[in-house]
Amino acid sequence: MLCVHGILGHPGFFDFLLPLVPRDWSVTNILLKGHGGSVKDFSAASMDEWKLQVAEAVAKLRGTHEKVLIVAHSMGTLFAVREAVAGNADALFLMNTPLKIRVTRRLLSTPLKVLSGNIKKEDRWTQAALEAYGIEQDVNLLHYLGWVPRYLELFAEIKSVRKIISRLTVRTQVCLSAHDEMVSPASAKLFKECHSVKVKVLPTSGHYYYSDSDTRMLQDDFRQFVASVQV
């Protein structure tokens, strides 16, 4: 199993699923280049490097394993779809696949709260975003200008993957959040021609925050999906 986190994320995002992985499976939980370091480190990375990193990880696993399952979140799901369409992955478990983007008030306010550290204890949504954030904070806002090219690359990648999504034929579970700050639930419609794909919308969750009930639902789906892959 290969885990691929989203943009600005880190491998710890998958901690709530990893205990559910069968003990006889091997797990590779990669850290994408530029993540886990400084703002400048992230700016110096690129979409091409991330895609190559994922492709190399998949190729390595295929050389030693009978099946390769990719579990991914956000941007990582785009790379997962690419690998599956290319015939390099046998099954996908995708969370909040950004095939369609929307701008919400929370999308604009959450980064400001995270960067300022002004997060109330009861604000579980922003706290979840902070915990999912994999870049060291920087007080110099000008350093963040280097992120603009990375996000332009992300939007281009979204557009590119939309063109190939209908070619997805491997067993795939997609879990979207009804209140996602940036991924529109309308992304589900783009999977309608993929007969191997099951889509579920979690009713009370966002891009990073999963309510207790939705977390249990997501974990149950993951258990069932793992069991189906083992068959």
- Cα–Cα distance, 6 to 80 (Å, whole number): 11
Q: Given a cut of 90, is residue 139 above it in pLDDT?
A: no
Structure tokens at 34: 């530029």
- Compute the average pLDDT of residues 18-46: 96
- Percentage, residues of the chain above pLDDT 90: 87
Alpha-carbon distances of 199 from 2, 37, 132, 213, 215, rounded to whole Å: 20, 34, 23, 18, 16
- Cα–Cα distance, 26 to 126 (Å, whole number): 32
Q: Which residues pair with 171 in a beta bridge?
A: 91
The reported pLDDT for the residue numbered 35 is 97
pTM of the predicted structure, to 2 decimals: 0.95
Q: Given a cut of 90, is residue 121 above it in pLDDT?
A: no
- Cα–Cα distance, 85 to 70 (Å, whole number): 12
The reported pLDDT for the residue numbered 111 is 84
- Compute the average pLDDT of residues 7-17: 97
**The 2-4 sheet, strands edge to edge:** 28-29, 2-4, 69-73, 91-95, 171-177, 197-202
3-12, 23-32, 137-146, 215-224: least confident range:
137-146
- Cα–Cα distance, 204 to 206 (Å, whole number): 7
SS3 87: coil
Q: Given a cut of 70, is residue 218 above it in pLDDT?
A: yes
The reported pLDDT for the residue numbered 119 is 87
CB 168 within 8 A of CB 81: yes
- Compute the average pLDDT of residues 16-36: 96
Residues shown for the chain: 231
User: What confidence tier does 231 reach under pLDDT thresholds 50, 70, 90?
Assistant: low
- Compute the average pLDDT of residues 31-40: 96
We find that the CATH architecture of domain 2-230 is: 3-Layer(aba) Sandwich (3.40)
Structure tokens at 156: 């281009």
Which residues have C-beta within 8 Å of that of residue 92, sequence separation ≥ 6? 69, 70, 71, 72, 77, 80, 81, 84, 168, 170, 171, 172, 173
Q: Would you put residue 34 in left (φ > 0), alpha (ψ -120 to 50) or beta?
A: left
Structure tokens at 89: 């992955």
Alpha-carbon distances of 186 from 46, 65, 159, rounded to whole Å: 28, 35, 15
User: What confidence tier does 173 reach under pLDDT thresholds 50, 70, 90?
Assistant: very high
- Cα–Cα distance, 122 to 132 (Å, whole number): 17
For 51-93, the pLDDT digits (tens) are 999 999 999 999 999 999 999 999 999 999 999 999 999 999 9
